[in-house]
Structure 1
Amino acid sequence: MASRNVGRRRADRKGNRRKVLDIPQGHGHGHGHGHGDHVVDTSVVNSDAIVARRVRIVVAAVLTPLIIASVVLLIVLWPGARVKVESYQTSTARGEVTALKACPDPRDKCDLATVKLSNTPEKGKAVPVQVPKVGGSPIPVKVGQEVMLAIEKGAPPDQKYQYVDHDRTKPLLILAVIFAIAVVALSRWRGFAALVALAVTAVMLVQFILPAILKGSNPLLVAVVGGAVIMIIAVFLTHGINAESSIALAGTIAALGLTVLLGWFFTGLSQLSGLAAEGASAAQGFSPHLDLAGLLVAGMVIGALGVLDDVTVTQAAAVWELSAANPAASRRELLSAGLRIGRTHVASVVNTLVLAYAGAAMPVLLVFAIQDLPILSVISTEAVAMEVVRGLVGSLGIIAAVPLTTALAAMAVADRSRDLVATPDPAP
């Protein structure tokens, strides 16, 4: 079908005239890349009076009550003082390996390292540290490397410092700096805002979600409240407080709610206890009242958040560009075109999510492969079934996010042409 490119002009807030071209009819891709004379300015959609009125209804009916409820619950569930188990607290130290030799007694199965302390009151002091051998091979510690140590109070001087692991602070910081530079270089101020949102996410995890669960609050409720607050801050901080980001946030919260319900239902239906999760037994040993099944569902919610954000923001942006290119597009046309864009996105994202969960369970899968068990027996074991439920529930949430967000966006921006002033294109 031949495309129709009808030029329209609209005055923005500064009185400037911007040219907006209709998208070709029947074409399902709405990303504007500035090819040729095609200019797609989505700011005209955000500033449109009709869109603003429709979005205000969504904000008043859905977002405002949810934001208020999230903030209130955040205050109520806030753990207050740091939650810790005194009997499990261990003093730590760091230092550089300056010498390494075999332990005097071969039966000890260790190497003897001399470590120069770098962050304790005994900074600069050289202390002996035994580095254990695992399976007959020493842990690869070399002279010049940084290591982490545990301090055993009251132990003899030659046993006071115990090897814990390599100190990976420097390489991790280098990687984080490279990541931050790459994000800011590509996305500039929006990338910087995304990094700030990432920092907020880390603070919420460390200062609210984990301590609140340890304190005894319901893990699922804590994850939902923390996830909602993270999404509210991340979406508005990264994409601005406007109509487009409000619709994306509404779609995110709706999909998040569905993910919670599916996770809770199938965790119970599959009779998952959560004990097979890595570290679950140790965590329950520290905190006997911990609800491991609820913690499992909470992990599903937190794991799906980042991908939900990606999908909903992308879908809202796609519909906004479609509307900017064709202000007269109906809800049905926008929904159809938006879903065509979303199908490709979902297909790749779902595969990524499932593979990520499979990768996390790789050691468990290797054990089953060695045992050569039937595939149905492997899937039915809790260690594997847990990952299957986690991956499929997260994927269902992502799938639902596409039509939910696209429908909300289409309802918000459809038939905007009533607010436009059509003028002929100027002569070339």
Structure 2
Amino acid sequence: MLFQKKLFFSNSNNHKKNIIMFIILLLLLIIGIYFVNSNENTYKKSIAKIIYVTNKNSKTETSTGKYEAIKNQYITAIILNGKYSGKKINLQNIVSYSEVNDINLRVNDEVFISYSENTQNKPTSFKILELKRDKYIFYIAFIFILLMIIISGKIGIRSLGSVLINIVIFYAIIELFLHNFSLVFIFLFSLLIFTFSSLFMVSGINKKAISAIVSTIIGTTITILIALIAIKLNNSNGVRFEEMEFLTHPPEKMFYIELLIGTLGAVMDIAISISSSINELYTKNPNIEKKSLIKSGLEIGKDIMGTMSNTMLFAYISGSIPFIILLLRNQTPLYNIINENLSLEIIRALTGSIGIVLSIPISIFISIVLLNNKKIGEFIKS
């Protein structure tokens, strides 16, 4: 009877917490929607809302002799902020069929604009700069946060906290690089801080998290060393650093930092997956043999390895799809596209895949060692 009472009150408390969480999320959604739909005055640039669009289709000849469909948009908009707030203006926009560099505008879209003034300080012409996207970003971010909390609960909240902290850390890394700090220092700083903040916040301080942290540090370090040695031995042949020549800093250093962060994310994912799996198997059966743990860990690792390697490749290549389409439309051979324009993306994907493969046996070994270490178990709850 006493147990049933405790269970009832426990369920009742959980129900109240869920209701409070739902109310908080609903209030945040309402506040967020109101803010992103009425935040024009927080921007220095002028913003205009489109109230009417007329589309006229035509064709234009490209440099290759082909014809591409073109849409001319004649737009009526109203300025929402600045000294011309409330003024109706006429804008023009051209949209190509590929839409690689153009924006297809619709009624109720908001755009950033610039304008020219005459000697009497009166506007003479208005030009569209870019689409105002903050409301769309907010809706996607809110859906992501909502799903994280619904599916993962407290762990989801901790994961969101970890994401926010990592954004701050990422900004700090960029600042360190811009202030010419040593690449070795940046490597160590980002490796340790990213790993500790992510895994301890999500998993807590336990053997599973410690195993994942140690595995991540070892796996990432070995992978980056392999990549750097391979690049140096080949005198950077095949690595098209000229793709990053627009930077005001040495592109090689920036590329190495990109390699580190991309590889770190992949290795960390594998490390926590393997560590969690080994920990769960050991918790369910403390008498399980090491051979069985290793065999189970390798089977789990093989399944994760295939999907994660594909994920790495798709993640890096997907960002270049518009550029690839543009080159293909200009009849650039696919070999040249891969060799000259995608070399950095391919190297990033291959380096991350090496890290994924290496981190599987490393994570299994570290997890088993820690699980069988009674001294650690005495101080840290598994």
Does the TM-score normalized on the shorter chain lie above 0.5?
yes
Partner Cα distance (1:253, 1:307) in 2? 12
Q: What's the offset of the Cα at 1:134?
A: 4.8
CA 134–101 in structure 1, closer or farther in 2 if over 3 Å, else same: closer
In the TM superposition, 1:114-125 aligns within 5 A as 114-118=76-80, 120-122=81-83, 124-125=85-86
CA 162–253 in structure 1, closer or farther in 2 if over 3 Å, else same: farther
Q: What's the offset of the Cα at 1:353?
A: 1.2
Match of 2:87 in 1: 126
Match of 2:256 in 1: 297
In the TM superposition, 1:276-287 aligns within 5 A as 276=243, 280-282=244-246, 284=247, 287=248
For the Cα contact (< 8 Å) 1:183–1:192, is it kept in 2? yes
Partner Cα distance (2:105, 2:111) in 1? 8
Match of 2:358 in 1: 400
Paired residue for 2:303, among 299, 319, 344?
344
Match of 1:382 in 2: 340
Match of 1:359 in 2: 318
Match of 2:286 in 1: 327
Q: What's the offset of the Cα at 1:224?
A: 4.9
Tell whether 2:202 aligns with 1:238: yes
For the Cα contact (< 8 Å) 1:220–1:295, is it kept in 2? no
For the Cα contact (< 8 Å) 1:328–1:415, is it kept in 2? no
Match of 1:202 in 2: 167
Partner Cα distance (2:90, 2:228) in 1? 47
Aligned residue pair count: 312
Q: What's the offset of the Cα at 1:267?
A: 3.8
Match of 1:262 in 2: 226
Paired residue for 1:181, among 133, 142, 146?
146
**Greater displacement, 290-299 / 254-263:** 254-263
What amino acid is aligned across from residue 94 of structure 2 in structure 1? K
What amino acid is aligned across from residue 274 of structure 1 in structure 2? F
What amino acid is aligned across from residue 342 of structure 2 in structure 1? V
What amino acid is aligned across from residue 301 of structure 1 in structure 2? L
CA 267–189 in structure 1, closer or farther in 2 if over 3 Å, else same: same
What amino acid is aligned across from residue 402 of structure 1 in structure 2? I
Q: What's the offset of the Cα at 1:183?
A: 0.8
Match of 2:45 in 1: 92
Partner Cα distance (1:364, 1:140) in 2? 18
Percent identity at matched positions? 19
CA 216–111 in structure 1, closer or farther in 2 if over 3 Å, else same: farther
Secondary structure class of the residue paired with 1:149: strand
Q: What's the offset of the Cα at 1:302?
A: 1.6
Partner Cα distance (1:303, 1:153) in 2? 47
Partner Cα distance (2:106, 2:368) in 1? 60
Partner Cα distance (2:48, 2:91) in 1? 14
For the Cα contact (< 8 Å) 1:263–1:390, is it kept in 2? no
What amino acid is aligned across from residue 123 of structure 2 in structure 1? D
Q: What's the offset of the Cα at 1:329?
A: 3.2
CA 100–355 in structure 1, closer or farther in 2 if over 3 Å, else same: closer
Match of 1:140 in 2: 104
Aligned CA RMSD, in angstroms, stands at 3.4
Match of 1:274 in 2: 241
Partner Cα distance (1:129, 1:202) in 2? 40
Secondary structure class of the residue paired with 2:123: helix
CA 410–292 in structure 1, closer or farther in 2 if over 3 Å, else same: same
CA 139–353 in structure 1, closer or farther in 2 if over 3 Å, else same: closer
With CA pairs under 8 Å and 6+ residues apart, which has the higher RCO, 1 or 2? Answer: 1
Paired residue for 1:249, among 201, 204, 213?
213
Q: What's the offset of the Cα at 1:294?
A: 1.6
What amino acid is aligned across from residue 300 of structure 1 in structure 2? L
What amino acid is aligned across from residue 303 of structure 1 in structure 2? G
Q: What's the offset of the Cα at 1:164?
A: 1.6
Secondary structure class of the residue paired with 2:104: coil
What amino acid is aligned across from residue 221 of structure 2 in structure 1? G
Tell whether 2:183 aligns with 1:222: no
Tell whether 2:349 aligns with 1:391: yes
Paired residue for 1:163, among 112, 128, 137?
128
Secondary structure class of the residue paired with 2:265: helix
Partner Cα distance (1:151, 1:182) in 2? 42
Unaligned runs of 5+ in 1: 1-89, 103-108, 420-428
Partner Cα distance (1:193, 1:145) in 2? 35
Q: What's the offset of the Cα at 1:182?
A: 0.6
Q: What's the offset of the Cα at 1:148?
A: 2.1
**Greater displacement, 384-393 / 356-365:** 356-365
Unaligned runs of 5+ in 2: 1-42, 56-70, 378-382
Match of 2:368 in 1: 410
CA 198–96 in structure 1, closer or farther in 2 if over 3 Å, else same: same
CA 295–267 in structure 1, closer or farther in 2 if over 3 Å, else same: farther
